[in-house]
């Protein structure tokens, strides 16, 4: 038999979405073969879909010929209204203006933090967070700030899993992490030291609206400057409170 019998029960739309969904922060560019493997589709099917998506500029090519998200999706993505970001951005900007440090805003999405906005200047420490990117909660400042205000059942189930350990400073022992979160709740902000990336440390404060952690505001600097963090906590909390006030109304 030469003709292909179609695999039953899968819509074309879902295949298009599988192709798009194969791209993520860890795999921003892929070869056709990788894309086929990641989307679970036969190579020839992937090839045809890619060609159409490329024609529409939904996908593009990196200089080396690998596939990546194209300009049309970039444009489309920016159409998604994001009330939180629009409203919070001026505060991030102010905070950046008064401190000169990397500032970012994140929300919880599932068991991860999703970065929603980021402001950085010329002499920024290179940091891992990028807008639209995701990181686990327990090694990040914003993650801890958010997690500390989640209900107990959520925290318990979060801690019950095997926790990733990106650096040797990452706290993964459930008891210690639980105590850490209690401290965050008590003082109203979280601190990290090289728990996610060697060489950087951070402070973060939750944006609490009616007691619910709708977002967290974080500030990141080189770990050599860790002792400057305490000075930054007050402006950080003030900005977080400002965002909370604006968001609540």
Partner DNA sequence: GAGAACACTTCCACTCAGTGGAATATTGCT
Partner DNA sequence: AGCAATATTCCACTGAGTGGAAGTGTTCTC
- Does position 6 interact with DNA (CB under 7 A)? The reply is yes
Of the candidates 135, 229, 160, the one whose C-alpha atom is nearest the C-alpha of residue 190 is 229
Stretch that binds a second copy, among 1-9, 77-85, 151-159, 194-202 (CB under 8 A): 77-85
> DSSP letter at 161?
S
Interface characters, 52-71, with a second copy (x: CB under 8 A): xx--x-x-x-x-----xxxx
> DSSP letter at 72?
H
Q: How distant is the alpha carbon of residue 221 from its chain centre?
A: 18
- Does position 1 interact with DNA (CB under 7 A)? The reply is yes
Of the candidates 50, 95, 31, the one whose C-alpha atom is nearest the C-alpha of residue 242 is 95
Select the residue interacting with a second copy from 7, 42, 43, 131 (CB under 8 A): 131
Size of the site for DNA (CB under 7 A): 30
User: 11-44: buried (b, 16+ CB within 10 Å) or exposed (e) per residue?
Assistant: eeeebeebbbebbeeeeebbeeeebbebbebeee
Helix intervals (H) in the chain: 12-21, 32-39, 43-55, 71-77, 83-99, 141-147, 152-160, 174-187, 229-248
- Does position 93 interact with a second copy (CB under 8 A)? The reply is yes
Of the candidates 141, 194, 48, 206, the one whose C-alpha atom is nearest the C-alpha of residue 59 is 48
Choice between 47 and 89, CB closer to DNA: 47
- Does position 89 interact with a second copy (CB under 8 A)? The reply is yes
Q: Are 200 and 166 in contact (CB under 8 A)?
A: no
Report how far residue 117's alpha carbon sits from residue 119's, in angstroms, rounded to the nearest whole number: 7
Residues 24-53 that bind DNA (CB under 7 A): 31-34, 41-45, 47-49, 51
CB of 62 to DNA, least distance (A): 11
CB of 112 to a second copy, least distance (A): 11
CB of 234 to a second copy, least distance (A): 18
Q: Which does 9 bind (CB under 5 to 8 A by kind): DNA, a second copy, none?
A: DNA
Stretch that binds DNA, among 13-21, 103-111, 208-216, 239-247 (CB under 7 A): 13-21
CB of 195 to a second copy, least distance (A): 24
Q: Which residues bind DNA (CB under 7 A)?
A: 1-15, 31-34, 41-45, 47-49, 51, 65-66
């Amino acid at each position: 038999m030469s003709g292909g019998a179609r695999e039953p029960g899968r819509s074309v739309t879902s295949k298009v979405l599988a192709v798009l969904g194969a791209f993520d922060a860890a795999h921003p560019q892929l070869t056709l073969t990788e894309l086929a493997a990641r989307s679970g589709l036969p190579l020839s099917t992937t090839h045809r879909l890619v060609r159409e998506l490329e024609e529409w500029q939904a996908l593009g090519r990196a200089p080396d010929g690998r596939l990546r998200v194209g300009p049309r999706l970039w444009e489309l993505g920016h159409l998604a209204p994001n009330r939180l970001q629009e409203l919070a951005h001026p505060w991030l900007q102010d905070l950046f203006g008064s401190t000169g440090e990397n500032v970012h805003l994140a929300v919880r999405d599932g068991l991860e933090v999703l970065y929603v906005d980021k402001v950085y200047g010329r002499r920024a420490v290179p940091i891992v967070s990028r807008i639209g990117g995701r990181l686990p909660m327990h090694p990040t400042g914003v993650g801890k700030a958010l997690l500390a205000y989640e209900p107990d059942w959520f925290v318990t189930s979060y801690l019950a899993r095997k926790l990733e350990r990106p650096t040797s400073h990452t706290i993964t022992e459930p008891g210690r992490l639980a105590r850490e979160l209690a401290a965050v709740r008590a003082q109203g902000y979280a601190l990290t030291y090289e728990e996610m990336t060697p060489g950087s440390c951070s402070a973060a404060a939750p944006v609490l609206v009616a007691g619910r952690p709708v977002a967290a505001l974080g500030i990141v600097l080189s770990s050599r400057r860790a002792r400057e963090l305490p000075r930054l906590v007050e402006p950080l909390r003030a900005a977080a409170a400002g965002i909370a006030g604006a968001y609540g109304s």
